[in-house]
Amino acid sequence: MKHFATRLWDAVDQKGNAAMIGLDPRPDHFPQPFGMRAQNSISEAAVAMKAYHRELLDVLAPKIPIVKPQAAFFEALGVAGYAAMLDAMAYAKELGILVLLDAKRGDIGSTSTAYAKAYFSGEACPAADALTINPYLGEDACQPFLEVAQQHQAGLFVLVKTSNPGAGLFQDHGQPPLADQVALAVHRWGLQNMNGCSWSSVGAVVGATRPAELAHFRKLMPHAPLLLPGFGFQGGSADGLQAAFDSNGHGGIVNSSRGILWAHERKDLQHIPNWQDRVDFAVDEMLQALAPVQKAGV
């Protein structure tokens, strides 16, 4: 299997964009008929979730290189919800879409090893192409993820500077700030697993809601793919994101979740008869907004 960064940029080149769609399933926001089915019980909500994601992924597959299932929303429905997540991962991979599992795992060494094997080995569930991890417990907690990911040519995205409003309480603390220290560790870890060109398999999460800081973090992590969450519904826009990209349009992947998943609820799209076409319309809006930014990378 190819190095993760190579697979990622190949997928971006093939689809012609660096957009990522987050799969954050909330049954009360499912389009019909899935929303109606989800109202009856947790088990029926999980059945609706599985069917919905298969239809959604069919819509996304022609244009989107990578999706990001948010594990928490699936796990909220218990065993059946977890099974729906595994099905979405498997079906995305069947359609040729990369899968970044957003689980934000992080624990002591032996537990980290178990998490990494679960999501990367392909034995317990469909192998994720990449995983988000929380580095708060330190290097010894991250090292098992780094080792197992390298064994399976998978990627990691380490939380560096997140998109939520309260992120600065810890991430801005200290001198240098904690986020900068994590970024320097990401750079150091990444140098141990490069793709033969200029990219590492160890990436970083830097919120798209923080464009003013993006150039700073790119300087600290010149080889790290950057996951830029918060585009759209959380208030992030394409403005300022060009610092993530190089002249080839590589370097960043920009995530939108609710802005795409809830497109069927938009009043301005009610003239479009079905939810699939509304989603497709919202995807096109996102791609149009990102195109000049991705091309402006230096």
d(C-alpha 275, C-alpha 265), whole Å: 9
Closest among 68, 13, 16, 22 to 287, alpha carbons compared: 16
Is-contact 204 157, C-beta < 8 A? yes
Is-contact 255 281, C-beta < 8 A? no
Catalytic position from the list 63, 93, 104, 117: 104
- Burial status of residue 122 (CB atoms within 10 A of its CB: 0-12, 13-18, 19 or more): exposed
d(C-alpha 60, C-alpha 46), whole Å: 21
**Ranges in the chain, pLDDT < 50:** none
CATH number at residue 278: 3.20.20.70
Is 104 catalytic? The answer is: yes
Task: Count the Cβ atoms, other than its own, within 10 Å of residue 53.
Answer: 24
Query: Tell me, what's the pLDDT at 236?
Result: 57
pLDDT tens digits, 95-110 = 999 999 999 999 998 9
Task: Report the residue count for the chain.
Answer: 298
Q: Which residue in this structure is represented by tokens 């826009």?
A: 237
Query: Tell me, what's the pLDDT at 136?
Result: 95
Q: Which residue in this structure is represented by tokens 């991430």?
A: 171
The token duo for 248 is 């080839």
d(C-alpha 61, C-alpha 164), whole Å: 29
* Number of domains observed in the structure of the chain: 1
Which domain does 286 fall in, by range?
Answer: 4-295
Go through 135-166 and write b for each residue having 16 or more CB atoms within 10 A of its CB, e for each that does not.
beeeeebbebbbebbbebbbbbbbbbbbbeee
Q: Which residues contact 176 (CB under 8 A, 6 or more apart)?
A: none
d(C-alpha 17, C-alpha 131), whole Å: 21
